[in-house]
């Protein structure tokens, strides 16, 4: 009777081990299937991305003025940007700005449209910025040593770098007012280099 109980326990144990091994085998086969499916999805995504890059290049070449925001293919380590700051009452210390927040937003988007249509950016800076003209800044990317004439990205208003590092040279973007990311108002940003 004891031998039979031991035999049953051993058989149950072996069945458990075999079942576990079988389950692992099934899981491995399932994982291989998932890996194959994931690899196919990655290939499809890369092909779609390549199609997008091709169409972006076409759009960029069609856009002669080069002012629409086009994301750079490779994240830059250094950028040079020029900007127009459009503030509102109380947003820029030491400036006697009287426009409301709503008026500032409307003006910023009007200037953005004009700049993207090819109007002289330097002239727009001189006429509208609530910063000091010419409004040109050089920045180094996060974790990149900065040159003597550059600001580390972390020392700038976050939205300023978010736009400046995400558009290609010659393109113009906007950083909307945000109390934390862009507390001085709207920045119309043109990447120079």
For the stretch 21-48, pLDDT in tens is 344 444 444 444 443 444 444 444 444 4
Alpha-carbon gap, residue 24 to 37, rounded angstroms: 19
166-178: average pLDDT: 92
Q: What percent of the chain stands above pLDDT 90?
A: 41
For the beta carbon of residue 146, count every other beta carbon within 10 angstroms: 17
100-108: average pLDDT: 97
Instruction: Report the pLDDT value the prediction gives residue 67, as an integer from 0 to 100.
Output: 53
Evaluate if residue 66 carries a pLDDT over 70: no
Mean pLDDT is lowest, of 68-82, 104-118, 138-152, 177-191, for 68-82
CATH annotation of 78-191: 3.10.50.40
Mean pLDDT of the chain: 73
In tens, the pLDDT along 10-19 reads 444 334 434 4
pLDDT, greater one: 29 or 122: 122
pLDDT, greater one: 28 or 83: 83
Alpha-carbon gap, residue 143 to 171, rounded angstroms: 24
Alpha-carbon gap, residue 62 to 60, rounded angstroms: 5
Chain CA centroid to CA 80, Å: 17
- Which structure tokens are listed for 114? 């004009």
Instruction: Report the pLDDT value the prediction gives residue 69, as an integer from 0 to 100.
Output: 63
């Amino acid at each position: 009777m004891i031998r039979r109980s031991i035999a049953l326990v051993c058989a149950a144990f072996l069945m458990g081990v075999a079942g576990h091994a079988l389950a692992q085998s099934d899981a491995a086969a399932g994982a291989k299937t998932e890996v194959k499916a994931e690899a196919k999805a990655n290939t499809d995504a890369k092909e779609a991305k390549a199609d997008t890059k091709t169409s972006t290049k076409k759009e960029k070449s069609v856009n002669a003025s080069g002012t629409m925001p086009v994301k750079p293919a490779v994240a830059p380590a250094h950028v040079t940007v020029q900007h127009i700051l459009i503030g509102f009452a109380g947003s820029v210390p030491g400036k006697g700005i009287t426009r409301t927040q709503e008026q500032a937003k409307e003006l910023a988007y009007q200037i953005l449209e004009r700049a993207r249509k090819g109007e002289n950016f330097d002239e727009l800076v001189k006429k509208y910025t609530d910063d000091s003209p010419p409004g040109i800044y050089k920045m180094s990317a996060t974790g990149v040593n900065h040159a003597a004439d550059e600001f580390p990205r972390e020392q700038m208003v976050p939205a300023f770098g978010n736009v400046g590092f995400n558009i290609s040279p010659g393109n113009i973007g906007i950083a909307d007012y945000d109390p934390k990311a862009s507390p001085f108002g709207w920045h119309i940003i043109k990447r120079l280099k």
